[in-house]
Amino acid sequence: MKVRCKFWFESERGYIFGEGAYEILKEVEKTGSINEAAKNLGMSYRHAWGKIKEIEENLGEKLVISTRGGKEGGKSVLTDVGKELLERFERYLELFEYVIKHPYKTPALTVDGILIQEGKILLIKRKKEPFRGKYALPGGFVEYGERVEEAIIREMKEETGLDVKPLKIVGVYSDPKRDPRGHTISVAFLLQKIGGRLMGGDDASEAKLFPLNSLPSLAFDHEKIIKDAISLLRDS
């Protein structure tokens, strides 16, 4: 027996956005075409377009802009409102799934990775809220049944494209206010690169090495974590 739940966005007018609508917009974003999106999802163009128009009317905002003709044919792209709606749904879905899997009110466990090479540290630019557009250490939530060492290896691969080996724990960070989404506890690892190719992915729009003496503004409490890592390296 499994517990299954769904959530959706509503306004005073009623239903606005849910899982089905999310899949349509996500496919339009990926393919650049409502027609291709409908085919990939096994539905008619009319149904997909009708669903988009229904959301736009209920929301009072334009979600998709379509153009016709030209050498490359028609194209459909999401508006900024459409992109933000997708990101908000993904953000709430992540939290919703976590609460369903963890019905008791306990801190969420996360990991952060510190990879320092030749006086530079690897940071990612966050693609989603919180702190969208700001730089942070690579990392994320530990999945159920996963060791923290396995989690940081997975997150590094997903967000930076690199294969890494955990060397030692820099510290455990548990301030209830460190994450605006709720109470998270992070295990921060000092890492060694063992392979892969550097590129941003998953929740990271960019992965880049920064000089330790010239860091950008950082998300969460990552400035403190980096300072602790540097002190650890100096003392070792």
CATH number at residue 38: 1.10.10.10
Q: Is residue 182 part of a domain?
A: yes
- Give me 18's structure tokens: 């849910």
The more confidently predicted of residues 182 and 135 is: 135
* Cβ neighbours of 201 (radius 10 Å): 15
- For 132, the domain range is 108-235
Q: Is residue 158 part of a domain?
A: yes
**pLDDT over threshold 80, residue 72:** no
164 near 113, Cβ under 8 Å?
Answer: yes
Cβ-count burial 111-135 (b if 16+ within 10 Å, e if not): bbbbbbeeeebbbbbbbbeebeebb
- Give me 222's structure tokens: 């990552």
Judgement on whether residues 15 and 90 belong to the same structural domain of the protein: yes
The more confidently predicted of residues 3 and 170 is: 170
pTM of the predicted model as reported, rounded to 2 decimal places: 0.59
Q: Is residue 1 part of a domain?
A: no
Phi, psi of 114 (to 5 degrees): -115, 110
The SS3 call for residue 194 is strand
199 near 208, Cβ under 8 Å?
Answer: no
Q: Is residue 3 part of a domain?
A: no
Any alpha helices (H) in the chain, and if so which ranges?
Answer: 19-31, 34-40, 45-59, 80-101, 148-160, 222-235
Burial class (CB in 10 A: 0-12, 13-18, 19+), 39: middle
Domain count across the chain: 2
Q: Domain containing 189 — which CATH number?
A: 3.90.79.10
Judgement on whether residues 117 and 77 belong to the same structural domain of the protein: no
**pLDDT over threshold 80, residue 12:** no
**pLDDT over threshold 90, residue 229:** yes
**pLDDT over threshold 90, residue 205:** no
Judgement on whether residues 19 and 120 belong to the same structural domain of the protein: no
Q: Which of 58, 74, 101 is the last residue of a domain?
A: 101
Which residues are designated catalytic? Answer: 206
User: Among 94-103, 138-147, 192-201, 215-224, which stretch is predicted with the lowest mean pLDDT?
Assistant: 94-103
Q: Is residue 117 part of a domain?
A: yes
Average pLDDT over residues 121-149: 93
pLDDT attached to residue 104: 64
User: Among 72-86, 164-178, 188-202, which stretch is predicted with the lowest mean pLDDT?
Assistant: 72-86
To the nearest 10 degrees (0 to 180), the angle between helices 80-101 and 19-31 is 130
